[in-house]
Amino acid sequence: MAIIREINVKYQFKETQCALAEQAITRPEDTAQVFDYLKHETKEMFIVANLTNQHTINCVEVVATGSVNGISMRPVEVLRTAVILNMPSVILVHNHPSGDPTPSTSDIQFTRKVIECAKVLDINVLDHVIIGLNRFTSLRETHSDLF
């Protein structure tokens, strides 16, 4: 007998104290404020904020949790929810537990790969924000050639 797998998408709602969660995310500072809690995480966490046409957050997905100095994932995992929910744009967010949000070579290469894949799917990657202890880095601002 053959087995057929069925995909079941389940929404979980989480209340947040950040008023920006219901407003358009228009600046890297907005993203950093929404995800400021990541500065206290002891492991790298990679999150995708899936945005509506008005650039408000529709949903947030923790795509992967890594170690203190690394994380492993594929672009398909990053873009999966945007495809399933038909979201037009995303913002990538991850933290550096060291506190230094300077992007690594791996961060830049992975961002480039995700952007290339997203273009094929007609999904706009608006930014990749790296959260550090007391500051953040926007790859759109520091590496605009990627976008």
Report phi then psi at 38, rounded to 5: -65, -20
Secondary structure string (H, E, C) spanning 45-85: EEEEEEECCCCCEEEEEEEEECCCCCCCCCHHHHHHHHHHH
Per residue in 102-141, pLDDT (tens digit) is 999 999 999 999 999 999 999 999 999 999 999 999 999 9
Total number of residues shown for the chain: 147
Question: What pTM, to 2 d.p., does this model score?
Answer: 0.88
Mean pLDDT calculated for residue range 71-95: 95
Per residue in 12-59, pLDDT (tens digit) is 666 766 666 677 899 999 999 999 999 999 999 999 999 999 999 988
Question: Long-range contact list for 102-106, CB < 8 A, 24+ apart?
Answer: 102/130, 102/132, 102/137, 103/128, 103/130, 103/137, 103/139, 103/142, 103/143, 106/70
